[in-house]
Amino acid sequence: MKPKIVIGVGLIVLLLGYFIFGSLNKGTTVYYLTVSELIAKQPKPVGENLRISGVAVPVSIYYDPDKIQLRFTLADSSDTLNVLYNGPAPDQLADAQQVVVEGVLDSLGVFQAGKVLLKCPSKYETSE
> Domain count of the chain?
1
Domain extent for 42: 29-124
pTM over 0.85, yes/no: no
CATH code for the domain of 57: 2.40.50.140
Is the model more confident about 42 or about 128?
A: 42
Considering the domain boundaries, does residue 92 fall inside one?
yes
Q: Which helix (H) or strand (E) holds 22?
A: helix 3-23
Q: Is the pLDDT of residue 120 over 90?
A: no
Over residues 98-114, mean pLDDT: 92
As to burial, measured by CB atoms within 10 angstroms (0-12 exposed, 13-18 middle, 19+ buried), residue 95 is middle
Residues forming beta bridges with residue 56, ordered by sequence position = 74
45-95 pLDDT, tens digit each: 888 889 999 999 889 999 999 999 999 999 988 899 999 999 998 888 877
What does the pLDDT read at residue 127? 58
